[in-house]
A and B are shown apart, each in its own frame.
Chain A
Amino acid sequence: MTETKNHKPIREPLFHLAKRDNLPRHKALLIRLAAILVGMLIVCLFGLLIVGWDPFRIISTIFDGTFGTPNRRWDLFEKTAILLCISLAVTPAFRMRFWNIGAEGQTLIACLASVTCMLKIGDKVPNPVLLLIMVTASIIAGAVWAIIPAVFKAFWNTNETLFTLMMNYIATQITAYYVYIWSVPKGSGHIGIINANTKAGWLVSIGDYPYLLNILIVIVMTIVSYIYLNHCKHGYEISVVGESEKTARYIGINVKVVILRTMAISGAICGLAGFLIVAGADHTIIAGSVGGQGFTAIMVSWLAKFNPIAMAFFAFLIAFLGKGAKEITTLTGLDSSFADIVTGFVIFCIIGCEFFINFTIKFRKKEALPGAEAAKAEPVSENTEEQKDAVPETEEKNEEAIPDNDGKEGSEQ
C-alpha cells in the first residue's frame, strides 16, 4: 500500500477471483476435456525430457500399448472392469460420508476366499457349482471385512478411516501367510496358476473372448449401482445419512441400520471384484493381487463425483494411461514409476480444473482510472455497462437466491 501514500495512481490488483455458480454442463465438460489435453501435453513434455521421444511417438506408443493388439485391448478392458467394480464398491459408503478406504483389503480377502474354494473343493464339485460357491464365499468374505469397521462405527463411533485402513494390513498378512502355506513347491512363496489342467473355478469365457464375462458382469453392476443409488429408497437413505445425520434421525431413519447395510453392500461388491480377479483373470493369488486398485478406486469414485456412469469413464482413463505408459517403460527400460507419474500428471490437471469450474478470474480492466477525481467524473466503467444489459433478466430469477452466508463459503483473495 505504499502506492497510496506516494500518491501514485491506484491500481486494482492484476486479477481477482469471483465464484461462479451454475456453469452450464457442456461448458464444465469442455473445461475437463481441456484439462485432460493439458495433462497429456505435460506428459509429452515430460517424455521429451526423460525419454527423449517426440510427442507423437509418445502418444502413439501409449495407444499402441493399449489398443495395438486384440490381447492388449482385452487386457485394457479387463483392467478397466476390475477398477470400475471396486470403484462402484466404495461409492455407496462414500455417498454416506463413510470413508471406507479398506476396499483393498476387502477385495483381497475375497480373492483369498475364492482361492481357498478352488484349492480345497476344486476337484470335488462340478465347475458351475464350484463357481457359485466361490462367488458366495467371496461376497461374504468381502462383506464381513467391511461390516467389522461398520459395527464399530455405528455403535461406538470409531474412526472408520483408520479402522478400514488397518483391516487392509490384516488382510494382506493373512493372505501372505496362506500363500506361504499353500505355495508350490512348498516354501517357494508362489502358488502358481491353480487348476491349470482342469480349469476348475475358472470363469467360463464366452466364445474366444477371455474377459468378456468379467466385463459384462461389471457393466450390469454399473447400471444396477446407478439405479440403486439414485432411484431406490435405500440410495435415498444413504444420501440423507451422508448429508446430515441429524436430519436422518429427525425423519426417523435408523442410522445404524443404514451404516451396516451400506457397508455390507460396499464390501459385497468388493467381494465380487475379488472373485472376478481370481476366477476371471489371475487364477492365483499373491499378497499384491489387488495391486493398489482398492486405493485407485477411491480416486475414481471421487473424480466421478460418486456417479457410477462417470466412473466408467474415469476407470477407463486411468487404466488406459497406466497401461499405455507401461508400454513406454517396457520399450525404454525405465522404472515402472514412470507410468504412475504419467497418470499423476493427468489426474492432477483434472482435479485442478475444478478450480476453473467453480471460479472465474477477472483481470484488471485495461484502463484503470487513477485516483479519486477520475472516479467521480466517470463512475460507470465499461464493465458495469455490460452488466446493466444483463440486469433485467437475471435479476428476476435471482433476487432472493443470493446465499446469505457467501462470506463463509469461499473467500476470494
Chain B
Amino acid sequence: MSEQTASSATAATPNVSGSPVPAIELRNITKTFGEVIANQGINLSVYRGEILSILGENGSGKTTLMNMISGIYFPDSGHIFIDGEEVLIRSPKDAFRYKIGMIHQHFKLIDVFTATENIVLGLNDGRYDLPAYEERVREICGRYGFVLDPKKKIYDMSVSEKQTVEIIKVLYRGADILILDEPTAVLTPQETDRLFDVLRRMRDDGKAIIIITHKLHEVMALSDKVAVLCKGRYIGTVVTKETNEAKLTEMMVGEKVDLNIHRSEPKNPVPRLIVKGLNCKNEDGIAVLKNISFTAQSGEILGIAGIAGSGQRELLESIAGLQRLESGEITYMNPSTEKEENLRNKSPRQIRELGVRLSFVPEDRLGMGLVGNMGIIDNMMLRSYESGRGFFLNRTAPASLADQIISDLQVVTPNAKTPVRRLSGGNVQKVLVGREIASAPTVLMVAYPVRGLDINSSFTIYRLLNEQKEKGVSIIFVGEDLDVLIELCDRILVLSSGSISGIVDPRVTPEGMTLKEQIGLLMTKKVDETAADTAADSSEKPAVADSAAVQTEITPASENGGKEAPNDGNQES
C-alpha cells in the first residue's frame, strides 16, 4: 500500500518551490500555560499545493500550535504571516477571514441536522435556500472525490462520514489553508487511504494542508514535508522523500529508537479462558455479539482486530462480568486451583479477584477505569480501597504502589497527588495499564492501550505486555493499528459486526496479498451466523481462502481510485 501512495506522490509533484511566498508562515512562536512551555520558538512554513505533516510525541505542543493558527489561542510572542503579510489571529473568526480551516479531533456537529444543514450552519447570506446549498456541497464532493449524501442526518453517519462533513464545512467557507488534527485516529485503514486520496486531490488543487499526526507510516505516505516538534521545541523541517522513519523518530524522540516489536514464542500455552457461543444484545435490543467462541491461552497475546464498534468492548466487558449475556459460556481455568470456574454467574468483583483484569482505554482516555480529578494514589485505590477492614480508607499501600508505578514506568507527574487529567495522554495510560499489571493478573485484557500514544510510550506498553506474556499471563489485546497487532500478537481474532470473521496467525503471510490486507478484508466481511460457527470453531483456513477471492475482485477497482466501493457495499448489505 505504501508503494502505491509513494508513486502517486511523485505523480503530483509538490509545489515546494513553485510559489514564491508561503501560504502561511510562523516565526518564533512561543506559548506558555502557566509554567508549562507548550511551544517555544516555532518556525514553520507551508506553501500552496503542499502537504506538511507536523510530527511529535504526546505533549510536544502540536495541537497548541495549530490552535494558535486557528485563533483559539493567542501566542505569547512571535509572528504569523499569511501570503507574506503579517497578521494577527485573535479569534476563530479572524482565522476564517484568512481562509484558515481547522478540522478538530472531536467533531462539532449537530446530530439531528443533515450534512448540508451542519455545513451551512452559522453562515448568514440572508436566505435559506437549502437545495442551492446542497448543490454546492455536491459540487465540492465531486471536485475532491468525497462520498457524502448531503441529505443524510449526522446520527446516521459513520465516524468517517462525520469527518467528511467537517472537512466540507471548512471548504464550503472557502478555506484554502486546512489543518487536520490527528484525522486518522478514528478511521479504519481503508478509510484512511480514502481520506489521503482526497487530501492529495486538494493539494493538487492548490490548497495548503497541515496534518497533525504521530503515525510515521502516514507521514511517509502522505506528506511532502515534515516538521518535527519535540517537547514544545521546533526541531526542523525535512522533505519527506529525503528522509525515512528511523531518522524521523530520532528527530522526534531525540534518540535512536528500535522500531521492532519483540515477539517471543509462547511457552507451553494451556487454555486459560474458553469462550463458547457468546450472544449479547445492547440496550436497543440489537445483537452486538453473535456466537463468539474462542480460547485464550496462557503465555500468549491474542489480538482482536475490527472496525471500531464491532463488538470489541462488549466482548471484553462480557468476560469481565459487566455485560448481560443472552447466551453462551465463559469458562476460566484457574491456574492456582486447577479448577474450572464459570464466570457467567460471578460478579465483576469476583471475576477480578480471580485474576481476570480489564483495562479499557476509551476514546476520551479517562472515562472508564480512572477518575480524572483524582491523583494517582486515589486512582490506585479504585481497585483496592475495599480491602482493608473497617470504615476508614488506607492510603499507605496505594501510595507506595503509586510511587512504584511512577518510577517503574517513568510517569511524568509533579507528584502522586496531581489529578491524572492534568497528565498527558501517555502518562495517563501508563497509570491505567500499570495498575492492572501490578495486580498480578492471570488474564489481562487491554483495549486500545496505546490509543493516541507516541512511539516511546507505546513501546513501553508493548514491553510491559510482553513481560506479562512471559510470566504466563494470557493477554487479550484489542488494538486499532494493524501493523502493531501483526507484530505483537501470537494470534489475531478478527471481529466483523459482532461476529468472528476469522482467526489469523500473524507469523504466516497468506498467498497473493499482505497480511494487513487479509485482516482488513476480514474486518469488513459479512459473516452469516452459520459461517461464523465454522470460522471460529474449526480453523482459520476457510476464512483466508474466502477473503482471497474477494481480494482478486477488488484489485482492478483500486486502480481507478474507487477501491473502497466493494467494501462499502459489503458494510451496507
Contact = CB atoms under 8 A, between A and B. Distances in A.
> Is chain B found bound to chain A in the same assembly?
yes
Interface of A: 1, 4, 10-13, 16, 18-23, 231-236, 239-240, 243-244, 246-247, 249-252, 360, 362, 371-372, 375-376, 379-381, 383-384, 387, 390-391, 394-395, 397-408, 411-413
B145 interface: no
A233 B398 CA distance: 14
A306 to B, nearest CB: 11
Given A233-B392, A244-B372, A397-B414, A404 B425 contact: yes
Contacts of B391: 232-234
Contacts of A387: 30, 32, 37, 40, 76
A156 to B, nearest CB: 15
Interface in B9-51: 27-28, 30, 32-38, 40-41
B88 A372 contact: no
Contact of B86 (A10, A21, A239, A394): A10
Given A13-B74, A13-B88, A411-B73, 18 more contacts: A13-B90, A20-B34, A240-B382, A250-B358, A375-B27, A375-B28, A383-B76, A383-B77, A384-B77, A387-B37, A399-B232, A400-B424, A401-B422, A402-B33, A403-B422, A407-B64, A408-B106, A413-B72
Nearest to A395: B37
Contacts of A384: 28, 30, 41, 76-77
Nearest to B97: A1
Residue of A235, A401, A412 with most chain B CB atoms under a 10 A cut-off: A401
Contact of B412 (A12, A18, A379, A399): A399
A251 to B, nearest CB: 5
Given A398-B35, A399-B59, A404-B425, A244 B412 contact: no
A4 B81 CA distance: 11
Contacts of A391: 37, 40
A412 B73 contact: yes
Contacts of A390: 35
Contacts of A19: 33-34
A406 B372 contact: no
B59 A362 contact: no
Contacts of A249: 322
Interface in B348-393: 348-349, 352, 358, 360, 366-374, 378, 381-383, 385-386, 391-393
A233 B394 CA distance: 9
A402 B424 contact: yes
Given A395-B37, A404-B58, A371 B71 contact: no
A383 B78 CA distance: 11
B299 interface: no
A401 B424 contact: yes
Contact of B392 (A231, A239, A404): A231
Contact of A401 (B28, B59, B63, B84): B59
B104 interface: yes
B419 to A, nearest CB: 10
20 contacts: A4-B87, A13-B90, A19-B34, A233-B391, A236-B378, A239-B371, A246-B367, A250-B360, A250-B368, A252-B349, A371-B86, A381-B77, A383-B77, A384-B30, A398-B414, A399-B231, A400-B424, A407-B63, A407-B73, A413-B71
Given A400-B423, A413-B71, A395 B231 contact: yes
B452 interface: yes
B381 A236 contact: yes
Contact of A379 (B27, B382, B452): B27
B263 interface: no
Nearest to A412: B73
Interface string B50-91: 000000001101011001000111101101010011111011
Nearest to A404: B425
Contacts of A235: 393
B329 interface: no
B421 interface: yes
A379 B81 CA distance: 14
B413 interface: yes
Contacts of A240: 371, 382
Nearest to A370: B86
Contact of B32 (A10, A18, A232, A411): A18
B521 to A, nearest CB: 33
A349 B382 CA distance: 38
Given A232-B392, A247-B368, A397-B414, A22 B34 contact: yes
B277 to A, nearest CB: 25
A400 B61 CA distance: 10
Nearest to B411: A400
Contacts of B30: 384, 387
A243 to B, nearest CB: 4
A20 B383 CA distance: 32
A412 B89 CA distance: 12
B310 interface: no
Contact of B63 (A20, A236, A247, A406): A406
Contacts of A23: 34
A407 B81 CA distance: 22
B570 interface: no
A157 B90 CA distance: 43
Give 4 nearest A-B pairs by CB, closest first.
Answer: A400-B412, A252-B349, A20-B34, A21-B34
B470 interface: no
B45 to A, nearest CB: 13
Contacts of A12: 88
B59 A233 contact: no
Interface string B403-443: 00000000011100010011111110000000000000000
A3 to B, nearest CB: 9
A215 B348 CA distance: 45
The winner among A1, A243, A391, A402 for most chain B CB atoms within 10 A is A402
Contacts of B537: none
Contacts of B348: 250-252
A401 B452 contact: no
A240 B385 CA distance: 11
A12 B80 CA distance: 12
B347 interface: yes
Contact of B369 (A250, A401, A405): A250
Contacts of B86: 4, 10, 371-372, 375
A235 B90 CA distance: 44
Nearest to A384: B77
A338 to B, nearest CB: 39
Interface in B76-115: 76-77, 79, 81, 84-88, 90-91, 94, 97, 104-106
A408 B104 CA distance: 10
Contacts of B373: 243
Contacts of A233: 385-386, 391-393
A372 B87 CA distance: 9
Given A233-B393, A404-B425, A246 B368 contact: yes
Contacts of B77: 381, 383-384
A412 B317 CA distance: 40
Contact of A16 (B33, B74, B370): B74
Contacts of B71: 413
Contacts of B63: 404-407
Interface centre among B33, B94, B232, B424 (most CB of A within 10 A): B33
Nearest to B395: A231
Contact of A398 (B36, B90, B104, B349): B36
Contact of B372 (A231, A243, A395, A398): A243
Contact of B232 (A10, A13, A381, A402): A402
Contacts of B232: 395, 399, 402
Specify which of B87, B393, B452 lies most central, judged by the most chain A CB atoms within 10 Å of its CB.
B393
Given A22-B34, A394-B36, A400 B59 contact: yes
Contacts of A234: 391
Contacts of A380: 28
Interface centre among B87, B367, B382 (most CB of A within 10 A): B382
A368 B382 CA distance: 52
Nearest to B381: A236
